[in-house]
Structure 1
Amino acid sequence: MTLRVMICEDQELVRAGYAMIFSAQPDLEVVGEAADGRSGVAEARRLRPDVVVMDIRLPVLDGIEATRLLAGPEVTDPVKVLVVTTFNLDEYVYEALRAGASGFLLKNAPPRELIDGIRTVAAGESLLAPAVTRHLVGRFADRIRPAGGRRQAALPEEVAALAPRETEVLRLIAEGLSNTEIADRMVLSRETVKTYVSRILTKLDLRDRVQAVVLAHRVGLVSADD
């Protein structure tokens, strides 16, 4: 199966580099490119790619609003968006998360990690670079955790209904650990962790891992100090 990818990036050299890397993969096809957010939204709606690789700082319409228009909660037929960002854009990443992005990677990520990220997002899973999650939560957790940053005495009913192992996996997801890291921490196989993650998302009626991170901090399951 060939995955159709669209690139939304204003720097021509970066855009060309992405296109070259993606096109060299037997299962990836670059079907469109855009140099600004507005044309990116229009092209993505027209082409319906499997994944849009989205920069945040774009002319005309920024990547946050472009992501919201393509994948926001009110979009009936959302397009999967993989945001590629840098640490000095933390606040933009937080807003893009709320706008519906399915994943985040750093711009200095190795090509293989970016390629695997596209495949992960296209498969319906979310992707959070652990370093991005840790840094983002550490800086902005006060916006999504309970007032005062304290743990709640009682978790919401749906979270409290999780099995102990599921609750622990959710906590580690919120700390920014990858499935491999969770497997190592809990002495489980990666497949078992994937099963736990799937159950958690289903039980909590969450779309993806991104929403799981936000929920865990919002209900006080973890705090920025963890």
Structure 2
Amino acid sequence: MQFDPKSEQLQAVTQKSKSLWGGKTAVVAMGDLLTLAAFSLFPPITNTLVGSCSTEREALAACKDKQPDLLYVTECLEQGYGIPLAVKVKAVSPNTRVLLLLHRENQEVVRDALDAHIDGIAFVSSIGQGFDGDFFKSLEAMADGNTYYPKKVRETAGFKKGLILNELSSRETEVLEALCQGMSNKEIAEVMVVSTETIKSHVSTIISKLGVKDRTQAVIACIRAGI
């Protein structure tokens, strides 16, 4: 893939990313120092950055101290690992949302991320694909407080279709599938031509029926059910 930093598409993504995360803060944790530097210098990231780290210990300390809105992390760090870091960060900074950028597109890593209740996953291979790429879509979803597990990630997880969703109505299942795609309540309401309050009610019912505590866990239950 050719990468043109001056392309119109990339410039448009850059501008929209700035507006998505305006006024928010972020920490970046990546094991490869060149990738860490390049990512940290990307304008939408730079403008929100309160910590740029290569080790699990440094990133955890930065999140505890700064309480950022978002943590970008890769699975492999210079010292430590990204998925255990995500769990620790949730304990010291509960409102920090975690976006895991995966180099390895394999089942084991994706399932580990599901077990850690990570808010969003994007494969590194999706970076540079503009508005249609999972990286931008994950940022857009998480800026609105949603969860993002794209189709490629769900397929990589490899769960066979199960019975866990049988107790949901067809409309509730439809809403849950939309949540998996990172759609907000407003976006789902527009597609289904109902009110936002109706979607909120469906989401609350879904969470209750599945016995989970939030949207992220509901989405993970959906993925484990092979949806």
The reply to whether TM is greater than 0.5 is yes
- Quote the offset at 1:102 in angstroms: 0.7
Q: Name the structure 2 match of 1:62.
A: 81
**Corresponding letter in the other structure for 2:23:** T
Cα deviation, residue 35, structure 1:
0.2
Segments of 5+ residues of structure 1 without an aligned counterpart are: 143-148
Query: 2:141 is matched with which residue: 91, 115, 120?
Result: 120
Q: How does 1:49-128 map to 2 (within 5 A)?
A: 49-71=68-90, 77-111=94-128, 112=130, 113=133, 114-128=135-149
| Corresponding letter in the other structure for 1:64 | I
Note the C-alpha offset of 1:77: 2.8
Say yes or no: does 1:202 pair with 2:204: yes
Deviation at residue 16 of structure 1 after TM alignment: 1.7
Q: Report the TM-score, using the length of structure 1 for normalisation.
A: 0.69
Please report how far the alpha carbon of residue 131 of structure 1 lies from its aligned counterpart in structure 2 after TM superposition: 1.3
What is the TM-score normalised by the length of structure 2? 0.68
Aligned residues of 1:71 and 1:99 also touching (Cα < 8 A) = no
- Residue of structure 2 equivalent to 1:167: 173
Deviations 1:116-145 (A, max 9, x none): 533432432111122112221xx2x26xxx
Residue by residue, what CA displacement relative to the aligned partner does 1:43-77 show, whole Å, maximum 9, x if unpaired? 111111110001111243211110111126xx673
SS in 2 for 1:53: strand
- Is 1:151 the counterpart of 2:163? The answer is yes
Q: Which amino acid aligns with 1:4?
A: T
Structure 2: gaps spanning 5 or more residues: 1-21
**Overall identity of the aligned pairs, in %:** 18
Are 2:24 and 1:7 aligned? no
Cα RMSD between the aligned structures?
3.6
Aligned length: 196
Given that residues 5 and 52 in structure 1 are in contact (C-alpha distance below 8 angstroms), is that contact kept between their aligned partners in structure 2? yes
State the partner residue of 1:48.
67
Which whole-Å CA distance do the structure 2 matches of 1:81 and 1:35 have between them?
16
Shift in Å, 1:34: 0.7
Alignment pair present for 1:16 and 2:37: yes
Displacement of 1:196 in angstroms is 6.7
CA–CA separation in structure 1 for the residues paired with 2:194 and 2:181? 15
Q: 1:151 to 1:164 in 2, by over 3 A?
A: closer
Measured at CA, do residues 121 and 191 of structure 1 come closer, stay the same or move farther in structure 2, by a change above 3 Å? farther
CA distance in 2, matches of 1:32, 1:119: 21
